[in-house]
Amino acid sequence: EESGEQQEEDSIKQAVNETSETPKFIVQGDDNSYGFTEEETEKIKVTGEKFEFQTEVSRLMKLIINSLYKTREIFLRELISNASDAIDKIRFLSLTDPNALEGAPTLNITIWADKQNKILTIADSGIGMTKKQLIENLGTIAKSGTSEFLNTFEENKADMNLIGQFGVGFYSVFLVADKVIVTTKNNNEDKQYIWESSAVNDFTIAEDPRGNTLGRGTQIKLFLKDDALEFLEDSTLRGLILKYSEFINFPIWLWTTQSQVVEYKELDDDADKKKESTDDKKENDDLDQPEVEDADKPEEKKERKTKTIEVPGWELMNTQKPLWTRDPKNITDFEYEKFYMSFAKDSNLPLAWTHFKAEGEVEFKSIVYIPGKAPEGLYQKVQDFSRNVKLFVKRVFITDEFLDFVPKYLAFIRAIIDADDLPLNVSRETLQQHRTLQLIKKRVIKKALDLITDLSKDEEKFTTFLSEFGTSLKIGAIEDNKNRKKIAQVLRFPSSYEGSNSTTLDDYISRMKKGQDSMYFITGASVEEVQNSPFVEGLVARGYEVLYMVEPIDEMLVQHMPGHGGKMFKNVAKGEFKFGDDDLAELEQLKTKFTKLIDEMQSTLSDQVEKIQVSARLTTSPCAVVATDWGWTGHMEKIMAAQPFKQENPLLKEFYAKQKKILEINPNHPLIIGLLDKAENESFDANTREMVRVLYETTLIRSGYSLKDNLKYAARVEKIIRSNLGVDLNAEAEVNVTPAEEADKDENKGKTETTDLFEEQDEEESDPTKPTRDEL
Ligand SMILES: Nc1ncnc2c1ncn2[C@@H]1O[C@H](COP(=O)(O)OP(=O)(O)OP(=O)(O)O)[C@@H](O)[C@H]1O
């Protein structure tokens, strides 16, 4: 194990050494600083082509320029992240093209501040951009949803921190700079180009008059605003780079001035000369200390002295040992959280994670995260691929453009995968089909589900999880045959059990009553609706528990997942319903007792009802409408009515809608007993039949169905009210309305509000008790 770790360590070191060569020494004011002679500046002016920014970009720039955003330092995070992406890209190309790195063999990011000219420069030896890419990448925003983002931004000053997530990170440079020059060189073009903008409506692109100075890569110069000069300070930059670049896999070098204590031998007669040539303050500080020692050791006085000098040079800011390659034992939660926020570009903390090393059939290291919040549009397909999984091979970033690496229902997880056994010399497409990758997928899915199962043991966290990703989990139970059982174990539903707002299916099963062979459930729009449903009352009264499936997806879930733990689901609003054997015998007796009534009712409702039967499920309601085992419940009917289903499959819809229903009657309800009386006494007259129809339609409503003909129902109810009040059934309301007159076309002409007012005043004036206008 240990030697494995050592090997690992060595191979990382090797990987880093390949790329961590110190950048060349720079001198303030040379090419690396302002960079252009007057002549060159003139040439750029003459040859530069002007381009308009896309409208969205201009809108965004305005927002950024006028923003009083407090943490404008994020611009550095965005630039470092772009630089790192650009190096990832060229490194990936170099795997198949050995010449790709030739132009600039050292892969790194360099940052330096030119205090004199107030310029901050960030450079990388990444892939660089061609002229066409410059125009596209730094002039337009391709990402969908940008307009919506800008709208919310303009309206309520949304969090500027989100800028990176919208693929517009580059433009954040205008938070701190009023002019930006981007110099870039890509292998596919001989020329090096200069992009320049002062954040107005346009930008210019010109060929670099200095020629190819970069070799390859991109250099971004920010001409800092006067209120942003803090970003030239070593200490500020050092702090920010440490904060934002901790997980960048390439060396980041900062040009700093470091204090160094140096020892030197002093010869008596040289001492004074030296003193003059160095900085006063430093010299005094340094020379004070040794003097004490000098008294003790007079003979060394002339020999050794130390002093502090300021040495400019490149300082390496990061260690680049990727977090996933480290031993989980030595990684704190805080580090995992920071890493997540950095690689997932999420400003929310992750909810949970698992860090593992897969061995055996396939070997890889991985960290799988569950985010704290569901990303926007989780269920809408905005891109063909999702960027939720980042694949590395031996720490080289390969791709995050996977076509469904994980099944859609797990699309919310974020993962880093670093494999050792994938071939690097194949295209990304071929790679996606590779057997090893298929094995990796399987492992990652299993780990993600294990993580969810573990999380389900933490009540608080799991509640958050379900409110964010509960629907995803149910989609999983519907779509993923192989993992359905595992997913079903963590599903939760509200139920009638002591007002429980969530129970697992296993817990439900453990509470099932003697002789109960299935898990009772009802679907509906809300817990309030279903718990008062006639279908639930009898069961709850008998002490049975009913699961409340109140999410739209639940109907589909029970269709695809017919049961769990050896028990089937049973929709209490559907099909036959029987309890124990005692109940059965009693039902048989009741059936005989109610035959007459059932026959009468059946003949009344023959066009709508397939069957009428004595109910075992009702207690307080007189009756209920039950769907056949293969028919739709009222809730399902409503869901289907809301679907654009009609166009897709009109025949199927009609088939279901025409399914006749079952009417169950409650043998203990006084209304039913009253009707039985009528049936037995041969007094089931037209009036009674009408009542039966109203009773049936009212029951339809109570059972969650909608009526086929609301007007007919209303007319029937009115008839009953009339006969109860003793009002003539045919008496009509006296219609006594004055028809509106045709407007006289001339009447209103020229009449304005002022003339109306005058008329009123004139009337008032004619009152003799009131003073006249003149008197006033
Ligand atoms: N240093 C760079 N080297 C090469 N290309 C770059 C560099 N910086 C930016 N780009 C190009 O410009 C594009 C736009 O950059 P921007 O930061 O605005 O968005 P993004 O990087 O695509 O999205 P995000 O900010 O979410 O990472 C990038 O996609 C990339 O193609």
In one-letter notation, the amino acid at residue 583 is: D
Q: If you measure from the C-alpha of residue 391 to the centroid of ligand 1, how many angstroms do you get, rounded to a whole number?
A: 19
Atom of ligand 1 nearest to the CA of 83: 1
What is residue 752's predicted lDDT score, i.e. its pLDDT?
46
Ligand 1: which of 137, 150, 222 to mutate, judged by most atoms within 8 Å of the beta carbon?
137
Atom 13 in ligand 1: residue holding the nearest Cα: 137
- Annotate 744-766 with b (16+ C-beta within 10 A) or e (fewer): eeeeeeeeeeeeeeeeeeeeeee
Q: Is 207 annotated as a binding residue?
A: no
Atom 30 in ligand 1: residue holding the nearest Cα: 137
For residue 523, list its beta bridge partners.
Answer: 549
What value does the mean pLDDT take over residues 549-561? 90
Does residue 139 have its Cβ closer than 6 Å to ligand 1? no
For residue 254, list its beta bridge partners.
Answer: 111, 315
- Burial zone of 733 (CB within 10 Å; 0-12 exposed, 13-18 middle, 19+ buried): exposed
For residue 155, is pLDDT > 80? Answer: no
For residue 432, is pLDDT > 80? Answer: no
Tokens for 386, please give them.
């999702």
Which residue bears the tokens 């209304």? 671
- In this structure, the dihedral spanned by the alpha carbons of residues 60, 66, 69 and 70, taken in order and rounded to 10 degrees, is 150
| Residue pLDDT, tens place only, 294-347 | 444 555 556 678 888 888 888 888 876 889 999 999 999 999 999 998 888 888
Q: In Å, how far from its chain's centre is CA 549?
A: 25
Tokens for 631, please give them.
């028919």
Ligand 1: which of 82, 131, 214, 221 to mutate, judged by most atoms within 8 Å of the beta carbon?
82
Ligand 1: which of 85, 93, 163, 383 to mutate, judged by most atoms within 8 Å of the beta carbon?
85
Q: Is 571 annotated as a binding residue?
A: no
Q: What are phi and psi of 225, to 5 degrees?
A: -65, 155
Question: 203 near 197, Cβ under 8 Å?
Answer: yes
What is residue 573's predicted lDDT score, i.e. its pLDDT?
86
Task: Name the band, by pLDDT with cuts 50, 70 and 90, for residue 396.
Answer: confident
User: Could you tell me which of 698, 701, 702 has the C-alpha nearest to residue 690?
Assistant: 698
What is residue 433's predicted lDDT score, i.e. its pLDDT?
78
| Residue pLDDT, tens place only, 495-524 | 999 867 789 999 999 999 988 889 999 998
What would the 3-class secondary structure string for 133-155 be?
A: HHHHHCCCCCCCCHHHHHHHHHH
Atom of ligand 1 nearest to the CA of 166: 26
Tell me what the pLDDT averaged over the chain comes to: 81
Atom 19 in ligand 1: residue holding the nearest Cα: 167
Q: If you measure from the C-alpha of residue 81 to the centroid of ligand 1, how many angstroms do you get, rounded to a whole number?
A: 8
Q: How far apart are CA 67 and CA 174, in angstroms?
A: 10
User: Could you tell me which of 513, 701, 720 has the C-alpha nearest to residue 621?
Assistant: 701
Does residue 170 have its Cβ closer than 6 Å to ligand 1? yes
DSSP letter string, 470-488: HHHHHHHHHH-TTTHHHHH
For residue 196, is pLDDT > 50? Answer: yes
| Residue pLDDT, tens place only, 77-99 | 889 989 999 999 998 888 888 89
Does residue 137 have its Cβ closer than 6 Å to ligand 1? yes
- Burial zone of 325 (CB within 10 Å; 0-12 exposed, 13-18 middle, 19+ buried): middle
- Annotate 329-359 with b (16+ C-beta within 10 A) or e (fewer): eeeeeeebbbbbbbbbbbeeebbbbbbbebe
What is residue 575's predicted lDDT score, i.e. its pLDDT?
76
What value does the mean pLDDT take over residues 669-673? 94
Q: How far apart are CA 316 and CA 256, in angstroms?
A: 10
Does residue 83 have its Cβ closer than 6 Å to ligand 1? yes
For residue 284, is pLDDT > 60? Answer: no
Q: Are strands 547-549 and 518-523 parallel, antiparallel or unpaired?
A: parallel
Q: Name the range with the highest mean pLDDT among 57-71, 155-169, 490-504.
A: 490-504
Reported residue count of the chain is 776
Q: How far apart are CA 77 and CA 71, in angstroms?
A: 11
Q: For the chain, how big is the Rg over CA atoms in Å? A: 40
Q: How far apart are CA 46 and CA 13, in angstroms?
A: 48
Task: Name the band, by pLDDT with cuts 50, 70 and 90, for residue 289.
Answer: very low
Atom 10 in ligand 1: residue holding the nearest Cα: 82
User: Could you tell me which of 546, 554, 591 has the C-alpha nearest to residue 572?
Assistant: 546
Give the rounded percent of residues in the chain with a pLDDT score beyond 70: 79
Q: How far apart are CA 100 and CA 94, in angstroms?
A: 5
Question: 597 near 665, Cβ under 8 Å?
Answer: yes
Does residue 149 have its Cβ closer than 6 Å to ligand 1? no
Strands of the sheet with 661-665, listed across from one edge:
609-614, 661-665, 623-626
Question: 158 near 376, Cβ under 8 Å?
Answer: no
Q: If you measure from the C-alpha of residue 255 to the centroid of ligand 1, how many angstroms do you get, rounded to a whole number?
A: 24
Does residue 87 have its Cβ closer than 6 Å to ligand 1? no
| Residue pLDDT, tens place only, 341-394 | 888 888 899 999 999 999 988 999 999 999 999 877 676 654 555 688 999 887
Q: Lowest-confidence range among 206-210, 385-389, 579-583?
A: 579-583
For residue 612, list its beta bridge partners.
Answer: 663
What is residue 49's predicted lDDT score, i.e. its pLDDT?
93
Question: 118 near 229, Cβ under 8 Å?
Answer: yes
Q: What is the pTM of this model?
A: 0.69
DSSP letter string, 624-647: EEEB-TTS--HHHHHHHHTSTHHH
Does residue 78 have its Cβ closer than 6 Å to ligand 1? yes
Give the rounded percent of residues in the chain with a pLDDT score beyond 90: 40
Q: In Å, how far from its chain's centre is CA 503?
A: 27
Atom of ligand 1 nearest to the CA of 165: 26
Residues whose CB falls within 8 Å of the CB of residue 457, separated by 6 or more in sequence, listed in order: none
